[in-house]
Amino acid sequence: MNAETRPVSDGFQQLYCETTVFEGFSAFHPISFSRVLPFHAQDPVVDDQRLIDAEVAHLANRNDDTRRDVVEAYCQCSLLTEEEATNLKSVVDYFDASFFEMMGEVYANAGMFICALRWYRECITLLETQGLNPDLDSDSIHAGVGYCLYALGLFPEAMAWSKSCIGPRPTTDAICKALIDYEAQLAGGRLLAVERAAGRTRYTVSTFDPAQASQSFARLKPALSEVAPVKEIYINWVSSEAPAPEIEPGAGGYPFKVERDASDLPRHKMNLLFATCGQADALLGMGRTAEAKQLLLEAAVLEPEAGFVRDRIAALP
């Protein structure tokens, strides 16, 4: 054990420090997690035997009793408040595999990101070995993994993971928006807003000419079906005199365009944007300016409204 490695108990070592836990983290997203371990001196942990025993028991036998024991141990170790623990116990019978997700979230909220990844891994294993599970929010779990990798400073892994989870969605979305905005401008209008939920997307578009709008839709429908064949797309044409949809960006420099998205795509994009900026900063620190600029330009294409990305590009030597 080198000087930078954190000393832990045997029980903690067996539960959290086995390299096999992180080898082959996901069959669908084959990103190497070999750099996650070991725990270093600055990594916060709760090395408590009562907690470890409760988690090991639940890992071996998932049921309401072992879930309650884990919640109680979290409360005793100050990972949950008494109120939070009481609320969880009252609905513990609603959990099944999703309890592993809750365990990951508890550790992530406490800044213990390696421990969080250990439990997210259990969720992903269940998803990939048992198929779609209505008890698990797949996108949320995968986004949680990306955030943990970013928070650990594993920027290349966070970027690769987020890109793999996002897949072709940003590309197809950009093409759809460009096609719709082009047709809207032909009709004297513009693309006003985008709303997403599950596999459905609604674009609100202004127009001065309703007749032109119907012609545009006739042209758009087959083109959009080619670009995004598995997505349900709806176009809401509104008069140019009508008020814009009441969708406002959040406060504090929210970097996305005026969109309402009920999916976890924004979380994946945020993980990717922040990890890309982190890796660019690391490259700049090594004097590799050209590589850093390339990464930042890719981030700007992913989200043109991200001011913190544009600021970094403008500040490049």
pLDDT in tens, 181-212: 888 887 778 888 888 776 788 888 887 776 67
Alpha-carbon span 202 to 141, nearest angstrom: 25
248 phi, psi to nearest 5 deg: -110, 140
Q: Find residue 261's DSSP bridge partners.
A: 196
Q: Same domain, yes or no, for 38 and 116?
A: yes
Decide: 237 and 213 in contact? Cβ < 8 Å. Answer: yes
**Domain count for the chain:** 3
- Assess whether 71 and 197 both reside in one domain: no
**250: in domain:** no
Last residue of a domain, one of 151, 166, 181: 166
**107 found inside a domain:** yes
Same domain, 54 and 133: yes
pLDDT of the residue at 210: 66
Residue where one domain finishes, among candidates 166, 191, 216: 166
Quickly tell me which residue has 């997690």 as its tokens.
33
Rounded CA separation 236/76 (Å): 53
In a domain, 259, yes or no: no
Q: Pick from 116, 146, 166: which residue ends a domain?
A: 166
Distance between CA atoms of residues 143 and 137, nearest Å: 10
Q: How many CB atoms lie within 10 A of CB 40?
A: 13
Residue 211 in any domain: the answer is: yes
Contact (CB, 8 A) for 207 and 240? yes
SS3 content of the chain, % helix, strand, coil (to 5): 60, 10, 35
Same domain, 91 and 162: yes
State whether 181 and 81 are in the same domain.
no
Residues of the chain with pLDDT under 50: 1-3, 247-256
- Are residues 120 and 234 both part of a single domain? no
Q: Supply the CATH number for residue 214's domain.
A: 3.30.300.20
255 part of a folded domain:
no
Q: What is the pLDDT of residue 1?
A: 35
**Rg of the Cα trace of the chain?**
23
Residue pair 301/293 in contact by the 8 Å Cβ criterion: no
| 4 lies in some domain | no
Q: Which long-range contacts (CB under 8 A, 24 or more apart) does 208-213 make?
A: 208/239, 208/240, 210/237, 210/239, 212/186, 212/187, 212/188, 213/187, 213/189, 213/237
Whether 106 and 197 share a structural domain: no
> Which pTM was predicted?
0.81
For residue 38, cis peptide bond before it (omega within 30 degrees of 0): yes
Question: Are 50 and 112 in a shared domain?
Answer: yes
Strand ranges inside the chain, DSSP E: 191-197, 200-207, 232-239, 259-261
Let me know whether 69 and 120 are in one domain. yes
Q: Which domain holds residue 197?
A: 169-239
- Let me know if residue 248 belongs to a domain: no
Distances from the Cα of 38 to the Cα of 35, 71, 148, 159, angstroms = 8, 26, 15, 21
Res 9: pLDDT: 94
Q: Are residues 62 and 118 in the same domain?
A: yes
**One domain for residues 307 and 220:** no
244 domain-assigned:
no
Confidence at residue 251, expressed as pLDDT on a 0 to 100 scale: 43
Q: Are 33 and 114 part of one and the same domain? A: yes
Give the integer Cα–Cα distance in Å for 275 and 157.
9
